[in-house]
Amino acid sequence: MEYSFHEESQRVLVADDEKVIREILSDFLTMEGFVVRTVEDGFEALQELEEHSYNLVITDLKMPRMGGIELLEEINNRGINVLTVFMTGFGTVETAIEAMKKGAYDYILKPFKVEEVIHIVQRGLEKQQLQQENIQLREALSIYTMSEVLTKTLLLDHVLEIIVSTTLKESRADVAALLLMEDKDSGFEVKLRRSNAEEEEDQETEDLNLVEILEHYREDRPVLYHGARANRFFNRLPGGQQLVSFISVPLKIRLKIVGMLNIYSYSRGKKFSEGQRKMLSILADRASSAIDNARLYQNLQETFQQTIQGFARAMEANDLYTHGHSDRVMQYSRLIAHGLHFDPEHVQRLCTAALMHDIGKIGIPLDALKKPQKLTKEEYELFKEHPDKGRRILEPIEFLKDIVPAVYHHHEQYDGTGYPLGLREEEIPVEARILAVADTYDAMTSDRAYRAALSHEIAVAELKRCAGTQFDPRIVAVFIIEMEKARDNESDKSIPHLESGNRTEAEEET
C-alpha cells in the first residue's frame, strides 16, 4: 500500500505585495524544483490555500487587505495544514517572534539572501515530511492492530463497533459513521454512528445526499471537502451545526459498493487532510472484507440455528409434555447470561447449547419418558445416559464443539452429586450450571405426564431451597432477579410460562 506523500513536487506559496520580491522568490524556488505560486496579499493567499494544497507559505508581514499575522490566524482557525514562514524588516522582528508563538515555522529578515530562504524552506519541508511519516507510521500501525482484532471476531455488530471506534480515534474526527446497504433494493442505512461529543439521544444526525456521494464514488473522485464546499453532500446537518470538514470512503465487496465510512469535523480549525482520506480508504478496505466475512458467517449461523431449532422441535413434537422445552430453556438461559453480562458471542453459544441440551434423548426410547408414573430405576439409568449421548452426537460436528461441555454437564449438581461425572462447583462449566437452573425451572413450571405445572413462586422456592446443593447459588440469585424484572415488565412477551400452576411437587427429570 502506498503511503508516500512526496511523489509530487513540493508546493510553495509566496505572498508579498512587492512584485520584485514575488518574482525573485518564485524564480529561485522554481529552480530548486518547487512548484511556486505567488499572490499579492493575505486575502488572496487564504483563497489559494483553501483551494489547493501547499506545503509551505512564505508571507510578508505587512500587506494590504490582510497581513501576515491575520493570515496565520486564519490558517490556524481553518485547520489548513501548511508551514508558514514570515518575511520581515529589521524593525518588526518582535512581530515576527509573536508570529512564531502563534505557530509560524520561521522568519526571514529582509533584505534576505536567496540561499538563506532556500535553506529555511528545505529544512522546514524536511521536518514536515518527517512528522508526516511519523503520523503515517502510527496510522499504519493502528490499521494493522484493527485488522488483527477483526480477525478474532465474526459477529457483525462487534466488527462494526471495532471499525467505527478505530476510525473515530485515529481520525480524531468529531463523528464517525458507517452505513451499509442491506440488500440491493434497499437504500443505505446508518448502522453505527459514534460521536466524541455528548449528545442527546434523540439528537438529529447528518442527512446525507447519497446521490452526490455515489456519483463521486462512481467517478473515482475523492470525497474530501471543507466548509461550504461540503454542503452539497447533505440534505441537512444536525441542529444547524457548521461542518468544517468531511471525508467519505466507499466500502466495497467484490467491487460492489455496499456501504460507506464517513468522518465529520465540526470543530473550527480541525480540517481533514488527503493523508487521512487515504488512511480511511485503507481502513475501509479492511473493514469491507471483515463485514463480508461476518455477514457470511451470520447467514451460516442463522441457517444453522434454524436447523438446530428444527431438530429440537422435531424431537419434542411427539411429546405433549416437553413441547417447547428447549426454546424456553434457551430464553431463561439468555436472561441469566444477560444478568451475568456475557458478551454477545457467549450468549449465542449458550443459547445454542440450550436448544441442544437434551438432543441425546433422541437415542432413548420415547415411551419411557412419556409415562405418567415415575420412571423405574432401569428407566432412570437409561434416561441418565442422555447427556453422554448428546456429547457423542455433537462432538463430531466442528461447529458444535464449543457447546459440548454445556450439554454434557447440564445434569451435574453443584455439590458433586449429579451426573455424568459428579463434578462440583466451579469444575462444572458455567454454561452447564446455567442450563441446570433454566432446565429445572422449566420442568417444574410445565405440565408433565405425572403432574401439572407448578407455580412460579413454588418453583422459585424450590430453586432457592436447592441453591448450594443442586444449583450454583449465584446463578439462582441472578435468575430470580432477572425473572422478577421480566415479570414486572409485562410487555416482555419473550418470557414464557409466567402463569401460575397449583401443584406442590418438584421434579428433576429435565
C-alpha cell at 292: 463480508
Closer by beta carbon to Fe ion, 439 or else 472: 439
Q: Which of 439, 462, 472, 482 binds Fe ion (CB under 5 A)?
A: 439
- In terms of Cβ atoms closer than 10 Å to its own Cβ (0-12, 13-18, 19+), residue 36 is buried
Smallest distance from Fe ion to CB 358, Å: 4
| Beta-bridge mates of residue 77 | none
Residue 331 within binding range of Fe ion, rule CB under 5 A: no
CA distances for 344 relative to 158, 210, 336, angstroms = 9, 32, 13
Closer by beta carbon to Fe ion, 121 or else 407: 407
Residue 125: what residue type? L
Q: What is the number of other CB atoms lying within 10 angstroms of the CB of residue 113?
A: 10
CB 246 within 8 A of CB 154: no
Place of cell 405426564: 449
Residue 431 within binding range of Fe ion, rule CB under 5 A: no
Place of cell 529582509: 110
Smallest distance from Fe ion to CB 366, Å: 14
Smallest distance from Fe ion to CB 178, Å: 41
Residue 412 within binding range of Fe ion, rule CB under 5 A: no
Q: What is the number of other CB atoms lying within 10 angstroms of the CB of residue 245?
A: 26
Closer by beta carbon to Fe ion, 128 or else 446: 446
Residue 472 within binding range of Fe ion, rule CB under 5 A: no
Q: Which of residues 123-152 bind Fe ion (CB under 5 A)?
A: none
Q: DSSP strand E in 83-213: where?
A: 83-88, 106-109, 175-181, 188-195, 207-208
Closer by beta carbon to Fe ion, 266 or else 441: 441
Closer by beta carbon to Fe ion, 60 or else 439: 439
Q: Could you tell me which stretch among 66-74, 223-231, 335-343, 502-510 binds Fe ion (CB under 5 A)?
A: 502-510
Residue 316 within binding range of Fe ion, rule CB under 5 A: no
**What single-letter DSSP state applies at residue 192?**
E
Q: Could you tell me which stretch among 141-149, 210-218, 278-286, 353-361 binds Fe ion (CB under 5 A)?
A: 353-361
- Angle formed by the axes of helices 68-77 and 93-101, to 10°? 0
Q: Could you tell me which stretch among 98-106, 161-169, 434-442, 478-486 binds Fe ion (CB under 5 A)?
A: 434-442
Smallest distance from Fe ion to CB 327, Å: 11
Residue 167 within binding range of Fe ion, rule CB under 5 A: no
Residues in the interface with Fe ion (CB under 5 A) total: 3
- Angle formed by the axes of helices 456-465 and 430-444, to 10°? 140
Footprint of Fe ion on this chain (CB under 5 A)? Answer: 358, 439, 510
